[in-house]
């Protein structure tokens, strides 16, 4: 069982270049998320998709766009990369844990450097 699969694992971009981070989950989860993790700042939500066909902004959406392609896939696009977008990006999907809320399952992450 692969869980949440992210590609690529590493990427180096020049300022102004564009790229798309791919994410797929095989757990039949409805909700998917993109987080970024910076040193000393924890994980911050960029965008999320509560269900297929819907997307919404999180805490730090500027400079990003997302596409929920189908129930399995949720991609994150950087249209014009900036050095401030250098970070580790995690895709996640979630499973309903009852009254405890949603349990997140994370992909292995993408280390992105923007020069």
Partner 1 sequence: QKEVEQNSGPLSVPEGAIASLNCTYSDRGSQSFFWYRQYSGKSPELIMFIYSNGDKEDGRFTAQLNKASQYVSLLIRDSQPSDSATYLCAVSENAGGTSYGKLTFGQGTILTVHP
Helices first, then strands: H and E counts in the chain: 0, 11
Choices 15-23, 65-73, 79-87, 104-112; region in contact with partner 1 by CB under 8 A: 104-112
Q: How far apart are CA 41 and CA 8, in angstroms?
A: 23
Candidate ranges 20-28, 63-71, 75-83, 99-107; the one touching partner 1 (CB under 8 A): 99-107
Q: State both tokens at 62.
A: 């500027």
Contact status: 42 vs partner 1 (CB under 8 A): yes
Task: Using alpha carbons only, give the angle 18, 69, 88 rounded to the nearest 5 degrees.
Answer: 45
- Which residue in the set 16, 96, 113, 115 belongs to the binding site for partner 1 (CB under 8 A)? 96
Nearer residue to partner 1 within complex by CB, 17 or 67: 67
């Amino acid at each position: 069982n692969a869980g949440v699969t992210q590609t690529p694992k590493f990427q180096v971009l020049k300022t102004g270049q564009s790229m798309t981070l791919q994410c797929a989950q095989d757990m039949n989860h409805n909700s998917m998320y993109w987080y970024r993790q910076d040193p000393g700042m924890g994980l911050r939500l960029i965008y999320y998709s509560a269900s297929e066909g819907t997307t919404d902004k999180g805490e730090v959406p500027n400079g990003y766009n997302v596409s929920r392609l189908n129930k399995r896939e949720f991609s994150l696009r950087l249209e014009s990369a900036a050095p401030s977008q250098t970070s580790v990006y995690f895709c996640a999907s979630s499973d309903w844990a009852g009254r405890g809320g949603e349990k997140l399952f994370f992909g292995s992450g993408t280390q992105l450097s923007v020069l």
